[in-house]
């Protein structure tokens, strides 16, 4: 039994997995003794798994487990990590990113919280470009926030494993973390945030899933439709309108048109409504440009 499980899905990550593993050395020796790192190789066709084996010794006394499986997507890889991990707390790190801090001292200091939120630093072409700060979520505002946005990246938060009610839904190949946060409100029952502490360095590049507007649009609409179907009776009018707007943004990201009446879904989250307006203006560009402004 460990205090913390760090779960790292890996798919054809030979160029970055070494950097991700090296970043675990930002943890102290005492923290490593209480932590396991679970790397799930999700059907890779490169040398990623070999690099993991070569890096193990340099991470001592951290316990490192490599699990190889047929390709199941990032949701399936994370679920494998959750099933195999024995840590009381969970932290997710992607194979092309870096751990930026030592989570264990915060866990030890605040053992009664259900989740601890931190800031992540984004990099574009290896230069700092933006930060994503944690949002304080509780049981009362959970659906207001989660219907209006994907509140944070998986690496924004360290949380207790026993608060998970539903694992990642493997039907969703994109935005699976959005659905995960909505399905697991207990994670946020007692949350503390650190806006001035960076938990991870996130590297944006052309192979990130976030660069595929078409697939993001398809799955944004699928997930919003799913939530409208399964949670309808629990939601306020504002929360339902948020999801209806999310479905329309999903269509726009696919380069499709939306009906004028869908611009009048009130009450709704104002920031989300602003995105709807912006995406409606940019709709014709999504099929021609990727996230970095390069022509496809």
Tens of pLDDT along 39-74?
Answer: 999 999 999 999 999 999 999 999 999 999 999 999
Q: What is the mean pLDDT of residues 70-82?
A: 97
pLDDT of 127 above 80: yes
Mean pLDDT of all residues belonging to the chain = 93
pLDDT category of residue 90 using cuts at 50, 70 and 90: very high
pLDDT of 283 above 80: no
pLDDT of 211 above 80: no
Q: What is the pLDDT of residue 97?
A: 97
Cβ atoms of residues 96 and 11 within 8 Å: no
Q: What is the mean pLDDT of residues 159-182?
A: 97
pLDDT category of residue 289 using cuts at 50, 70 and 90: very low
Cβ atoms of residues 155 and 119 within 8 Å: no
pLDDT of 275 above 60: yes
Q: What is the pLDDT of residue 247?
A: 96
Q: What is the pLDDT of residue 257?
A: 86
Q: What is the pLDDT of residue 125?
A: 85
Q: Which residue has the higher pLDDT, 125 or 114?
A: 114
Q: What is the mean pLDDT of residues 283-296?
A: 46
Q: What is the pLDDT of residue 208?
A: 60
Give the strand pairing for 35-42 and 63-69.
parallel
Half-sphere exposure of 127 (CA within 13 A, CB side): 2
Cβ atoms of residues 59 and 37 within 8 Å: yes
Give the strand pairing for 115-124 and 127-132.
antiparallel
Q: What is the pLDDT of residue 17?
A: 98
Residue found under tokens 């499980």: 5
pLDDT of 76 above 70: yes
Q: What is the pLDDT of residue 295?
A: 35
Q: What is the pLDDT of residue 288?
A: 46
The C-alpha atoms of residue 118 and residue 196 are separated, in whole angstroms, by: 7
Q: What is the mean pLDDT of residues 8-29?
A: 97
Candidates 3.90.550.10, 3.10.270.10, 1.10.645.10, 3.40.50.12780; CATH matching 2-209: 3.90.550.10
What are the extents of the domains in the chain? 2-209, 212-285
- Cα Rg, the chain, nearest whole Å: 19
State the Cα angle at 249 between 243 and 250, rounded to 5°.
Answer: 90
Q: What is the mean pLDDT of residues 76-97?
A: 98
pLDDT category of residue 294 using cuts at 50, 70 and 90: very low
Cβ neighbors of 63 (< 8 A, separation 6 or more) are: 2, 35, 36, 37
């Amino acid at each position: 039994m460990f205090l913390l499980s760090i779960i790292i899905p890996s798919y054809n990550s030979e160029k970055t997995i070494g950097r991700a593993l090296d970043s675990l050395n930002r943890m102290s020796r005492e923290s490593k003794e209480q932590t396991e790192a679970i790397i799930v190789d999700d059907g890779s066709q490169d040398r990623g798994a070999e690099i993991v084996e070569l890096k193990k010794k340099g991470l001592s006394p951290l316990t490192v487990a490599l699990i190889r499986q047929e390709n199941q997507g990032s949701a399936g890889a994370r679920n494998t990590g959750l099933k195999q991990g024995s840590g009381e707390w969970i932290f997710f790190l992607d194979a092309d990113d870096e751990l930026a801090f030592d989570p264990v001292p915060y866990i030890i200091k605040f053992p009664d919280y259900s989740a601890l939120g931190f800031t992540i630093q984004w990099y574009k072409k290896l230069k700092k470009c933006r930060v994503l700060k944690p949002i304080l979520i509780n049981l009362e505002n959970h659906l207001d926030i989660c219907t209006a946005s994907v509140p944070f990246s998986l690496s924004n938060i360290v949380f207790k494993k026993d608060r998970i009610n539903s694992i990642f839904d493997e039907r969703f190949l994109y935005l699976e973390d959005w659905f995960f946060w909505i399905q697991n409100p207990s994670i946020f029952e007692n949350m503390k945030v650190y806006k001035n502490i960076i938990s991870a360095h996130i590297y944006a590049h052309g192979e990130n899933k976030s660069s595929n507007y078409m697939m993001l649009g398809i799955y944004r609409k699928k997930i919003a439709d799913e939530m409208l179907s399964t949670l309808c009776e629990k939601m306020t009018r504002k929360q339902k309108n948020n999801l209806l707007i999310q479905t329309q943004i999903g269509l726009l990201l696919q380069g499709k048109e939306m009906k004028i009446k869908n611009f009048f879904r009130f009450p709704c989250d104002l920031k989300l409504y602003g995105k709807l307006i912006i995406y409606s203006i940019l709709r014709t560009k999504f099929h021609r440009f990727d996230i970095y402004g390069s022509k496809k």
